[in-house]
Structure 1
Amino acid sequence: MTKTVEEQLFRPPYLQPRPGGDRPLTVLFSLLSRADNTPLTERRRADGHVLDHAGNVIADPAADAADNAFEGNPNLNFEHWGEYWRKVHGVRFVHAEAPDDRSLDRLLRYDQLHRFAPGPSHTDAPPYRAPVDAQGKLWPTVIGRIEAYRRPRWDGIAYLNFASPEDVAVVLGTARVREKILPEDQAIFRDIAPVLSRQYVIAPSAMGNEAITLVKLHVRDQSISRQDFQRWWLHDHAPLAAAQSGRWARRYVQLHNIGPTEPGQPLYHPQASAIDGVTLMNFASVGDLEDFLRSSEQTTIAKDEARMMDLAAGEWWTTIGIVLVNRIALESATRLSTD
């Protein structure tokens, strides 16, 4: 794969970060799906996305996979997309063309969270089960006994941290992003659902580079308001979840959706607007995550979540985290307001 620019390393140990503060950061948490040939009846497609080799929008992505300008071989699409997103798009995104362009200084942290299919998810959580007959014996063949794969809605997340909402506009509003990055987005992403959030670090990371992140998308019980849900989640649920997960989780963060709720507003997305909050829990290994999900402590957390959440409307899955930018070290817990 040919690269035209050298990667700039905006993270320790290649730069000297500054200590994190105790004020909530603003996060743009963009849920991403790859540009593939999935039928439109199965996955949403954003306006202007999934292009052919002439740069035109493909009317029906499922009609002929070879028309896809990003990757015409469906067997390679998922692998190629993950590699390209990290090794090419990530490098392009943090490449400042002009020496006096300081807009990226306002990007405090940028993680790519790649959904890890072998990891636990809401569709298949531990304890896993061997397919056996009524006597507990393995079947002599798996043919005809392979369960259908239930794919989550999203393939990855761009996790961008800023000091304020104004900094989001500064970083993403440059001519470089408008003219070079957004057209690339249309070719490699099928859909982008930005969740503009206020970030609360409940249990900060001591290292800042844990490999495994559990992502949980929360939808509140519709009998309560978003404001009341977020207040309960932060002040009542967070202490319980932090105490119960502390044996395994290396970091625990809540993202409170503060984004638009009506069509036509900047950053509005119909699916993102329905998400009231996102939990991020970081782990040192998949084994630690699986042990946590099998524990009585996780059962306690889940029971508490069920009190205020529509569990059927939410989802969760495992990601591999790759840190491209991190100007914050060490991270600090967020000071909680009393409202």
Structure 2
Amino acid sequence: MTIKTELQATITDLVVAGKGILAADESAPTIAKRFKAINVESTEANRCAWRSLLLATPGLGEFISGVILFEETLGQTTPDGKSLPEVAAGQGIVPGIKVDKGFTPLTNAPGDVVTQGLDGLAERLAGYKEQGARFAKWREVYSISPHNPTQIGLETNAEVLARYAAVCQSLGLVPIVEPEVLLDGDHAIGRCFEVVEIVQQAVFHALHRHRVELEYIVLKPSMVVPGKDAQLRAGAEEIAEKTLTVMRRSVPAAVPSINFLSGGQTPEEATANLNAINAMAGNAPWQLSFSYGRALQQPVLEAWQGKPENVSAAQQALYKRARLNGAARYGQYSAEMEQAQA
């Protein structure tokens, strides 16, 4: 199979009407924090049990086309000896892998950060591919303040994302390109709009410079929302209208899918906003989907509580959230559906 054939096969399996991507790639500190909230110790066994629960959820593949895994998860197995990527693939869910190494302050750009992990990336990707990964994910993070992001921050982060994406494609792995504009702050929705637009323009310029083929990437951007401490809130229709406007201005039609991150929204908000985007999208050139972490997992964690007897209830909670987001992919979600049984 040629590299292009491989990339196209993965895009075909990932970009599916009515489906989205589950982000289950929390780093060790993040998963420890989530577990602490339900009084569960973050041991390897507990992390394996949790991620096995997610991937083995009956029917999950009806609404989830791909899952982003943490490095540790690629090598973990269920009690019956199946690797967790095999469990996902058995449901028709494409296994992927988070490959960045977290961020560090960017020199001479106060308030901006840059993500690490390019050194040795090709070798790591080759190993992950052998373990079953077919796509990768890399996240760059942008804060909004009166001075951020800086020009240095915009250019450096875009360059790193493009270099990562080029390496992925050279090895036959589809890159998820994630420029996350953070929700933190009291800025208005208009300021978020400005930042998302300049961030994505910088990213696509860099992708072009590095000859990344846009037909074989997935974009994972932020929706256009006000800061979490903003005085003026925004409804789903305003968020959808501004998000679609900025995507049309900055995302080439060659990109097959835009899978939004939830970025601190509640599960219900993330679903309602995705629904409004799809209801308003008309003849948008890309699929408009989701790649949610906490917005899919939070109700599941609360149902699980680390107890084996709660696995079935937790899986029902995941199936329900996946189903509701599947409906939002068609603009067919309504708040009343939240009350219905899984």
Instruction: Give me the TM-score of the superposition, normalised by structure 1.
Output: 0.29
Name the structure where strand makes up a greater proportion of residues.
1
Name the structure where helix makes up a greater proportion of residues.
2
